[in-house]
Structure 1
Amino acid sequence: MLEELRDALYSAVRLTVPEKTVAVAFSGGVDSSLLAKICSDLGKRVTLLTVGFAGSHDVGFSKKIAGMLGLEHKVVELDSGQFEQDLAHVRKTIGCDNTSHIENCVAYASIARAAKEAGIKIVLSANGCDELFCGYNGYRAVYDKGENAVKKLMEEKISNELVLVQEISQIAKEFGVEVRQPFLSPAFIEFAKTIPVGQKIKGADDMMRKHILRQAALAADVPEESAMKPKKALQYGSSIHKNFKKRR
C-alpha cells in the first residue's frame, strides 16, 4: 500500500499542477514538506512561503526544514497593523463565523500577497492530509467507537475542508493568485479512503497518527525532523490564533 500511496501522491501533484513555477504554503511539517519535495522531484521551480508572527514556531522550524530541503524560502513575518486589516477584510469577505476558517484565510491573505510580490501565480497547499490520514485529535476521540465512526468523521472533515479551500481561494484571487490543493483532488480523496484506517491511526492514545503518510514522506527523503513531527495547526504554529484571540 505504501508504494501505491507514493504513486497517488505524485500523480495528484502532476495532474493538478502542470505549471513549472509554484509556491508552496510551508510550515515545515510533514504535509507541506512532502508536497514541496514532490514538486521538486517533478522538476518544478519551488518557492516555499511561510507566514507567522516574529518568534512563532513555524517561522523558526520552517527555516530549518527549508534549508535541509535546499529550496528557496521566503518568510512573511506578520505585524499587528496588517494583521488587523486582513482580519477585518476576511471577516467581511467570506461571511463566516468559524474561527479556524477566519484564521486560515488571514494566513493565506499574507501568503497570496507574498506570492504576488514574487511574481508567482500558483500557490499549493497540503490541505486534505489531516482529514484523509486521521491527523486531528478528533480521530482519537472516536476511535473506540469503531471504524465506521472514524470514516463518518472523515467525511465530515473533508466536507468542511472543501468549504474552507473555497474561502481561501476567494481571498487569494484578490491578489491574482490561485491556490490549489492536490491532495483534495477527487481521485486522491477516493484513493486515500481505500487505505485501511489501521495504517493511519493505531488507537485512541495515538498522538502521532498519519503513519502511512509519514512513511511515504520518509521514503521521499523528507527530513525525519519533519516527517515525524507531531501536528501543529497553521493558526497555532504561526501564532495567528494567539493574536486573533486578543482581537475578538
Structure 2
Amino acid sequence: MSLLRQELECALHDIVRAVLPEKNVAVAFSGGVDSTLLAVICRDLGKQVTLVTVGFPDSHDVSFSKEIASKIGLPHKVVELDSLDFKKDLAHVLQTITCGNTSHIENCIAYYYIAQAAGKLGLSVVASANGCDELFCGYNGYRAVYDKGESAIMEYMESKIKNELVLVQEISAVAAEFSVQVRQPFLSTEFVEFAKKVPIDQKIRGANDMVRKHILRQAALSLGVPEESALKPKKALQYGSYIHKNYKKSPSARTDGKEMKKSVV
C-alpha cells in the first residue's frame, strides 16, 4: 500500500468519525464510488447504516444501487418517484429555496425525498458524499482546464468547492422540514485542506482522462468497495435518478420562458 493512499484512508475514517458521531445514520446512496465508500466507512466504524436511494422506477440509480447495496450487505430503502407527485413536490421545494441554478434545484428535490425517507425511518442524520468530485477532479470540467496547468486546476477546484458549499446550505433548508440534518464529512475544513495537498497527478492524468479520482478509487477498492462501483464512471445524482429528465418536463424548469442557469459539471 502506498503511503499516500494509506494517509487518505486514515483521513477518510477520521473525518467520518468526527462529523458523524451518531450510531444510527442514513447514507444518500447511488451505488457510485463516493456514496459507497462513505457507506462502507460508516459500516466499518460500527454504525447502524441505512442506505437511501431516490429515483424514477426505470432509472439507472434504482437498479444499480440495489446491486451494490446487496454486495456490501446494508439495509436499503429505495424511494421510487412518481411523475405527478414530483411536479407537486418540486413546486414545494422551489418555495423553500431561492435558487435559479438547475443543478442545485435538482439536487435539492432529491434530498427532499431522501430527508423525508430518513425521517420516516426515525433517522435524524443523513450522510452525503458531496465533495469528492470537487476535491478529486471528478468533473469533466477538470479535463477542460487540465492543459492550462496546475494553477488553473486549483482555481477551478476552489470555484467548485464554493459552489458546493452554497448547495449544502440549500439542501439543509430543504431537509429541515423533516427535522433531518444532512452532513457532508468530505466538505469539512479539515478534509478539504488534506485533499488539496494530494498531488494533482493522483487525481487526474490528462485532458483525456475519462475516469479521474484515481487515488480515491484505489482507496475505495482497498476498503472493500465492490470493483464495479469503485471503477464506475461518474454519473451525477440528477442524471442517474432521472430527476433531470423529469425536471425538464416540468413548467418549473423555465422562468419567463428562459431556461434556468445550469452549473458546469
TM-score (norm 2): 0.93
Q: How many residues align?
A: 248
> Aligned partners of 2:248, 2:106: CA distance in 1, in Å?
10
> Aligned partners of 1:234, 1:166: CA distance in 2, in Å?
18
2:42 to 39, 42, 48: 39
Give the structure 1 partner of residue 181 of structure 2: 178
> Aligned partners of 1:93, 1:178: CA distance in 2, in Å?
16
> Aligned partners of 1:181, 1:117: CA distance in 2, in Å?
21
> Aligned partners of 1:199, 1:185: CA distance in 2, in Å?
21
**SS of corresponding position for 1:46:** strand
The structural deviation recorded for 1:82 is 2.0
Give the structure 2 partner of residue 221 of structure 1: 224
Task: Report matched runs for 1:103-118 at 5 Å.
Answer: 103-118=106-121
Give the structure 2 partner of residue 49 of structure 1: 52
TM-score (norm 1): 0.99
> 1:45 is aligned with what amino acid?
Q
> Aligned partners of 1:206, 1:44: CA distance in 2, in Å?
35
> Aligned partners of 1:22, 1:81: CA distance in 2, in Å?
30
> 1:194 is aligned with what amino acid?
K
Give the structure 2 partner of residue 156 of structure 1: 159
The structural deviation recorded for 1:85 is 1.8
Overall identity of the aligned pairs, in %: 70
> Aligned partners of 1:85, 1:245: CA distance in 2, in Å?
14
Give the structure 2 partner of residue 193 of structure 1: 196
Give the structure 2 partner of residue 16 of structure 1: 19
2:136 to 133, 136, 139: 133
> Aligned partners of 2:85, 2:189: CA distance in 1, in Å?
35
> 1:209 is aligned with what amino acid?
R
Give the structure 2 partner of residue 71 of structure 1: 74
Q: Which runs of 5+ in 1 are unaligned?
A: none
> Aligned partners of 1:67, 1:109: CA distance in 2, in Å?
25
The structural deviation recorded for 1:63 is 0.1
State the Cα deviation string for residues 216-247 of structure 1 (Å, max 9, x = none): 00010100000000000000000000000111
> Aligned partners of 1:81, 1:43: CA distance in 2, in Å?
39
**SS of corresponding position for 2:178:** coil
1:29 has 2:35 as partner: no
The structural deviation recorded for 1:89 is 1.5
Q: Which runs of 5+ in 2 are unaligned?
A: 254-265
> Aligned partners of 1:86, 1:216: CA distance in 2, in Å?
38
Give the structure 1 partner of residue 149 of structure 2: 146
> Aligned partners of 1:203, 1:90: CA distance in 2, in Å?
39
Give the structure 2 partner of residue 238 of structure 1: 241
